[in-house]
Amino acid sequence: MLQKTHSLAGLLAAESVVLYFNEPLISWESAALLMIGCLAGPLADIDKPGSTIARIFFPVSALLRFLKIRHRTLTHSLICILGLYFLLLPLPQTYLWASLLAYASHTLLDLFNEQGVALLWPLRMKFRLIPKFLAVKTGSVTERLIQIFLLVSIVLLPIIIR
């Protein structure tokens, strides 16, 4: 999936947290949470050389490459999400859940991609939620439709919830 798609999913995840914790949508706190969602959404692709997020966090992506950590393995795995949960545990609940759910939204979206995800890394087995012939190709019309769905959800969710 494209970074734009992951940012939208991360934003939707963070917005859900803002609404769940009854934070006013127009506030510095919510702005920070939504920004975190936008950044945490594409963060797992730090393992993909050449991706924007890998260029932003070059030392980490270089380290992953040095350690021969392949794309859609460690950073997309359940063990990484669990590790992130414990790492973020000292943060206030809103920051913990906005960051974690936005990060996990990445793996969830990639599970619809045709290459699949090594969800149980270090096991090499790749998982996909739908059969390969239905899987979403990166940059395809289907991915564009997913982006539109996410965007509409981001706009409508606060109206429906409140």
Do 109 and 9 form a contact (C-beta atoms < 8 A)?
yes
The interface region with Zn ion, picked from 31-39, 43-51, 95-103, 131-139 by CB under 5 A, is 43-51
**Furthest C-alpha separation in the chain:** 48
Helix axes 3-20, 141-161, angle to 10 degrees: 10
Give 86's strand partners: none
Shortest spacing between CB 28 and Zn ion, in angstroms = 30
Binding residue (CB under 5 A) for Zn ion from 7, 8, 18, 45: 45
Tell me the Cα Rg of the chain.
16
Size of the site for Zn ion (CB under 5 A): 2
Of 54 and 154, which has the nearer Cβ to Zn ion?
A: 54
Report how many helices (DSSP H) and strands (DSSP E) the chain contains, helices first: 7, 0
In the shown chain, the binding pattern of residues 92 to 131 toward Zn ion, with x for contact by CB under 5 A and - for none, equals ------------------x---------------------
Shortest spacing between CB 92 and Zn ion, in angstroms = 27
143 is a contact residue toward Zn ion (CB under 5 A): no
3-state SS, residue 127: strand
Of 116 and 154, which has the nearer Cβ to Zn ion?
A: 116
The binding site for Zn ion (CB under 5 A) comprises 45, 110
